[in-house]
């Protein structure tokens, strides 16, 4: 192999490594069950089990009023304290996926996110799962940091 070709191969290798590593999220500690819910709220765990396929794709989870709750990363989870009532959670890349829950005070819910095959980028899929399924699948997920410092502080106070 000539010196030029070898140099180009090394540069290409390092560029590939940088691109792959830059798509990884910095996640927090592994799942810890939240036992205390604030008064007049329900708890919705938004989670995405770790998978190789679609692993580099992350997408925002929003409520029906377009507020970003979190960015759902591969292998991550986020506890969302919701006011009671009907709440729509949705995500969009090439296509949109949504799930609506009738949140009850003091109740816990699980919304699982996955990534399907898309034309240019993976497509999000959200599904409400039974608590026994969600409790098993979330155990290896890691906490997604709150999108803002105030939300992070609020989460720690509620635990």
Given a cut of 60, whether residue 59 has pLDDT beyond it is: yes
Q: Model confidence at 5, in pLDDT bands (50, 70, 90)?
A: low
Q: Is residue 6 part of a domain?
A: no
DSSP letters of 128-153? EE-HHHHHHHSTT-EEPPPSSHHHHH
Question: Residue 153 belongs to what domain range?
Answer: 28-158
Q: Is residue 58 part of a domain?
A: yes
Q: Is residue 18 part of a domain?
A: no
The fraction of the chain above a pLDDT of 90, given in percent, is: 47
Distance, in Å, from the CA atom of 144 to the CA atom of 36, rounded to the nearest integer, reads 19
Given a cut of 70, whether residue 152 has pLDDT beyond it is: no
Given a cut of 70, whether residue 12 has pLDDT beyond it is: no
Q: Is residue 114 part of a domain?
A: yes
Q: What pLDDT score was predicted for residue 157?
A: 46
Given a cut of 50, whether residue 20 has pLDDT beyond it is: no
Given a cut of 90, whether residue 99 has pLDDT beyond it is: yes
Q: What is the mean pLDDT of the chain?
A: 79
Could you read off the pLDDT of 118-146 as tens digits, one per residue? Answer: 666 678 889 999 999 999 999 999 999 98
Q: What is the mean pLDDT of residues 82-108?
A: 92
Distance, in Å, from the CA atom of 143 to the CA atom of 159, rounded to the nearest integer, reads 13
Q: Is residue 131 part of a domain?
A: yes
Q: Is residue 107 part of a domain?
A: yes
The fraction of the chain above a pLDDT of 70, given in percent, is: 72
Q: Which of 72, 53, 52 is nearest to 62 (CA)?
A: 72
Count of structural domains, the chain: 1
Q: Is residue 11 part of a domain?
A: no
| CATH code: domain of residue 77 | 2.60.40
Q: What pLDDT score was predicted for residue 127?
A: 95
Helix (H, G, I), strand (E, B) or coil at 11: helix
Q: Is residue 37 part of a domain?
A: yes
Q: What pLDDT score was predicted for residue 71?
A: 92
């Amino acid at each position: 192999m000539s010196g030029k070709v070898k140099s180009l191969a090394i540069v290409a290798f390092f560029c590939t490594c940088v691109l792959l590593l830059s798509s990884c999220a910095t996640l927090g500690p592994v799942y810890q069950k939240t036992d205390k819910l604030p008064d007049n709220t329900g708890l919705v765990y938004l989670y995405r089990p770790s998978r190789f396929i679609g692993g580099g794709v992350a997408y925002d989870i929003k409520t029906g009023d377009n507020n970003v709750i979190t960015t759902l990363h591969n292998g991550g989870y986020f506890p969302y304290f919701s006011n009671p009532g009907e709440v729509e959670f949705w995500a969009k890349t090439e296509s949109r996926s949504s799930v609506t829950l009738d949140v009850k005070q003091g109740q816990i819910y699980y919304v699982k996110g996955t990534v399907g095959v898309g034309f240019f980028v993976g497509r999000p899929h959200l599904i409400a799962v039974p608590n026994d399924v969600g409790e098993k699948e979330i155990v290896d997920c890691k906490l997604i940091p709150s999108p803002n410092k105030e939300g992070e502080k609020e989460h720690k106070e509620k635990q």
